Amino acid sequence: MNDTQHTALPAPTRTPSETALQPQVLVGPSFGQDLVRTLHQATTVVGGLSFADGADSSDVEVSAFGAIVCTGDSPADALQAAAAVARRAPGLEIHALAWARADGPREGTFEYKVTMTVTAPDPATGEHSGTTHHAGRSHH
């Protein structure tokens, strides 16, 4: 049988519950595996929380956000780099900024870093994040 004569066998069909029970093989860079392990551990901890102490109007959420680190030789350079990212990718939702001054490449010099925690919209829904708690708010 040559390449033009072969026939593809149909993929076995599985129900969603069968698929969820299949072992997941993590492929890719090690930081991806670290992220999955960390999220799993954090989700396990959050899932075991009890709000019996009267904190019924609060939520705890585990999320993975992307981080973009903009580094410059001066505070203005780092901020300009962060602004350039925001201009270049207006679809990214910026959730938080963190500022740091770190030792530079030479003794007595510094680097300035702006770390932006961001998410991109979900391609299916266009939403940037999951549901959030709105206790005590009325929705009209």
pLDDT above 70 as % of the chain: 64
Q: Which of 39-43, 48-52, 99-103, 109-113 has the lowest mean pLDDT?
A: 48-52
pTM above 0.85, yes or no: no
Q: Is the pLDDT of residue 99 over 50?
A: yes
Encode burial over 10-21: b for 16+ CB neighbours within 10 A, e otherwise. Answer: eeeeeeeeeeee
Helix (H) or strand (E) holding 112: strand 110-119
Dist CA 116 CA 68 (whole Å): 5
Tokens of 77: 């350079």
Say if CB 137 and CB 102 are below 8 A apart.
no
Q: What pLDDT, in 10s, does the model give residues 119-140?
A: 888 778 777 664 444 455 555 5
| CA nearest to 72, candidates 108, 44, 104, 106 | 104
Intra-chain end-to-end CA distance of the chain, in Å:
66
In this prediction, residue 69 carries a pLDDT of 92
Dist CA 68 CA 102 (whole Å): 16
Dist CA 44 CA 59 (whole Å): 15
Q: Which is higher by pLDDT, 61 or 109?
A: 109
